[in-house]
Structure 1
Amino acid sequence: MSEDLNAAAAKLNEKLGGGFDGVAKFVIEGEGAIMVDSDGARVGDEEADVTMTASKETFLDMLSGDLNPTSAFMTGKLSVDGDMGKAMALGSALA
């Protein structure tokens, strides 16, 4: 999914309109990871303040706006490990 990951990172950059205050990692199960920080989103797998894990389908639904990140978390489709405040801030930017 590296091409898909690059496209998803570009889409995240569009939605965020710049960087993010902190370091977050989206882990897309079976595909890879996207890092989001003050420089924006990029493909990578590094240490982060918060790690959010979801299936490819759930991640793409959140990215397209078809699934609210809070709803995904509440229904168990998105798991969060780390700084919940950073996750909520990033979720608000995606919604």
Structure 2
Amino acid sequence: MCRNIRTLFNFEPPATEEEIRAASLQFVRKLSGFNRPSQANEAAFAQAVEDVAAAARVLMASLSTTAAPRDREIEATKARERSRLRFSRG
């Protein structure tokens, strides 16, 4: 359920608004236990996603590091290799 929650800090290029929102949506889904809320809970669910996204933006803007930014392509290649190794075991 949380496959879209990924590290978003210290990447070049920086995390996009879409990535922040996707991670926020997955976080709220995990906390609430709802993949899609009922009509009665839809407004609260949507507000929670927006609140989490806002908090994530503030957090990432507030963080600092001396480490060099990570390259998205290199990290994606590493993740694919880890996945290949993990799922190719018989």
TM-score range, shorter chain: under 0.3
Which protein shows a greater Rg? 2
TM-score of the two chains, using structure 2 as the length reference: 0.28
Where relative contact order (Cα < 8 A, 6+ residues apart) is larger, the structure is 2
TM superposition score normalised by structure 1: 0.27
Give the number of the structure whose residues are more often strand, by fraction: 1
Choose between structure 1 and 2: higher helix proportion.
2
